[in-house]
Chains A and B, each alone.
Chain A
């Protein structure tokens, strides 16, 4: 079975540019999560969806960040405009049920110059 798929795996961009990260959850999973991992803050939840509806976006750092889930098999995390402090690894995870194990994608390593 295919796991969570994320693209791109690596992204290098310049400050001020728009960045779009993509995620395809495991088929049949009804929860999708976006996490960010940095050395300073560790792993933190940004936002999560249930049945394509955003449930909790309290972890989204600021208005420059937005996330969408137009259908059950696709989600995007957009940063516009990007800043150097956004440099991090962004993980997407999915689960079948809110209290079940979350399975992570390989992550997108973002570097904003």
Chain B
């Protein structure tokens, strides 16, 4: 089974609207972390937001929030008030802390390409 699944290869959203990018994960590790990264067309990987498996509250960073539903193993990224500059690939990633034996390894999903339109 895929450890990180992003089922939306591409999404469109109108400027100023909110958009949700889906991410589901698969782990039996009790301690893990979930990350979202943005990759614009220029190619760099930009960290957006982090959620720890023991965090009680959903993470928020400015216009980004992470809708963490632990029982459903989902960690969806919500971008509010979309801007043209949000057009990019978005990757969900997971770090498993105990079972892999290598605490720092990130496993990435295949990404979702978001296009913000006028």
Contact = CB atoms under 8 A, between A and B. Distances in A.
A98 B43 contact: no
Given A31-B104, A33-B104, A101-B35, A91 B45 contact: yes
A89 interface: yes
Contacts of A104: 37, 44-47
A69 B60 CA distance: 35
A25 interface: no
Contacts, number: 53
Given A42-B111, A56-B105, A102 B47 contact: yes
Contact of B102 (A42, A44, A56, A103): A56
A12 interface: no
B25 interface: no
A55 B45 contact: no
A106 B43 contact: yes
Interface string A76-113: 00000000000001010101001101111111010000
A50 B104 CA distance: 10
Contact of A45 (B33, B37, B105): B105
Interface of B: 33, 35, 37, 42-47, 50, 91, 93, 95, 97, 102-106, 108-111
Given A91-B45, A104-B37, A109-B43, 20 more contacts: A33-B106, A42-B111, A43-B91, A43-B93, A43-B108, A44-B108, A50-B104, A56-B105, A95-B104, A99-B97, A101-B35, A101-B50, A102-B47, A104-B44, A104-B45, A104-B46, A105-B44, A106-B44, A107-B44, A107-B45
Interface of A: 31, 33, 42-45, 48, 50, 55-56, 89, 91, 93, 95, 98-99, 101-107, 109
